[in-house]
Structure 1
Amino acid sequence: MDKIQILRKISQTFFFIRATFVLGLYLNIVEFIGRFIFGIGKYTNIRIVIMILAIIAGRIFCGWMCPFGFLFDLVYQARVRISKLKKLPTMPEHIHNKLKYFKYFVLVLVVVLAYLFGTDIFLNSYMLAYLLLALFLVLGFIYPRFFCKYVCPVGALLSIFARFSIFQLKLNKNKCTGCRLCEFKCPMQIKIANVEKIDQMECIRCFECMSACRKKSLTFSPFFK
């Protein structure tokens, strides 16, 4: 594990502990979504900071700070170790390319439900929250970060800001050999090798691709460089 991945694990662990014990999240995925999107209570300032971060560096929150992202990383990495996989499992491409837009539908649905029934709907759904968390942990064991790729409305919201991020993941085609090791390690199933432009909206800045690249053909730098 290289230095950037060690730093990411430290960051994820810190924010997971902070979210579960200091902020009192207690792994309520429904409440977390409601508090983040609508800025309820103590999440208001955090939400603003994370949106600013998304404009600067993309979905860095998803890859480095989200407590649920940390859990989903653990479950798919457990499968990799148990099955000794060299390549992460992927959803069939034709399904993935359509399903990744489902999270935007979920985002709109969340906003509509909050408008019709009020934001309190997200604060009293503990049984539903735990059932959903269990379901997405199972799905995340099968397909890495299933929830983050296809369902998370917070990720959908941040991806809109990430589209215009200042710092972006870039590929140096002169160095790239097309081995696709970067794609094999990407939990978000993003096409990286031999593409005109890497999808900044889906990238969670986990930098697994950079760690996997033996030719150092990937960089994270300002878009104007």
Structure 2
Amino acid sequence: MDKLQILRKISQTAFFIKFILSGSFFLIFIGIVNTFITTGTIGKNYIVISIVVLVLTLIFGRVFCSWWCPWGFLFELGYMLRVKLFKLKKLPELPENIHNKLIYLKYVVLFLFVIFIYIRLSPYNAYLPELGISGNIISLAVLVAFTIVSFFIPRAFCKYICPVGAFLSILSIKSLFKLKLNDKCVKCRLCERKCPMQIKLTKNIDQKDCIRCFECKSVCRKDGIEFKP
């Protein structure tokens, strides 16, 4: 494991511990919305963290997803467990035709989430049925379910469902720093076999779906991948 991956693991672990101690199982932006809906206020810490995440995304891309997101940390543990147990040299993938369609599902989820927020904050909220179950319990159930799913499909939630990931993907389209192949690349596709987001790096690096985990850089034996403006 190179120094970059060690730093990432330390960052992930620290934020995961903070996540557990907070007692909240919401994703950061969803947690802000939930707090605002239930209390009518937003804590200063939430605002500061959100601004930092947004700025870093505009500069570096979806670094939040693989460096700080506690959900992503658990999903990563899920597929890494399978890699260790079965000694896999290539991460499991969905068929390309299915994957290429499912990656747009998270934008549909984001749209529905925005509609839900609009209704909750409008007079129409009175027409929504009371579920009698807290958002924390729902979030925990989703977290457990997709941690199990990630054992079979690496970061399935991040790739196909996460509304926060969808929002950060949009901001990442024109991020300042981008992942690029250089002249040293020999198209061996080792990077593709280790990419948890199933990006075909030797064909086209999809910057909006890349979560900047740098697994590709770590396994490249030719130093053929760069991350620069």
**Corresponding residue SS for 2:167:** helix
What secondary structure sits across from 1:170 in the alignment? Answer: strand
Query: Which structure has the bigger radius of gyration?
Result: 2
Give the match for residue 173 of structure 2.
163
Q: Which residue of 2 aligns with 1:146?
A: 156
For residue 17 of structure 2, what is the aligned residue in structure 1?
17
Residue deviations 1:55-103, cap 9 Å, x none? 0000000010000010011111000000110000001100000100100
1:117 Cα deviation from its structure 2 partner: 2.2
Partner of 1:110 in structure 2? 113
Unaligned runs of 5+ in 2: 37-41
Quote the offset at 1:111 in angstroms. 0.8
2:187 partner SS: coil
Moved over 6 A (4+): none
Scaled by the length of structure 2, the TM-score of the pair is 0.88
Say which of 188, 191, 215 aligns to 1:208. 215
Deviation at 1:36, TM superposition (A): 4.7
**Residue 118 of structure 1, CA deviation:** 3.5
Asked if the contact 1:103–1:156 (Cα under 8 Å) also holds between the matched residues in 2, the reply is yes
Aligned equivalents of 1:213 and 1:144: distance in 2?
20
1:128 is displaced (CA, Å) by 2.1
Match of 2:226 in 1: 219
Number of equivalenced pairs = 215
What is the DSSP-based 3-state SS (H/G/I as helix, E as strand, rest coil) of the residue aligned with 1:165? coil
Letter in 2 for 1:175: K
Aligned identity (percent) is: 52
Please name the residue that 1:4 is paired with: 4
Aligned-residue CA RMSD in angstroms? 2.2
Paired amino acid for 2:110: L
- Identify unmatched segments of 5+ residues in structure 1: none
The separation in 2 between residues aligned to 1:98 and 1:2, in whole angstroms, is 34
Q: Which amino acid in the other structure matches residue 193 of structure 2? A: F
Matches for 1:52-71 after TM superposition, within 5 Å: 52-71=55-74
> How many angstroms does 1:130 deviate by?
2.2
| TM-score using structure 1 length | 0.89
* CA distance 1:46–1:176, shift in 2 (3 Å): same
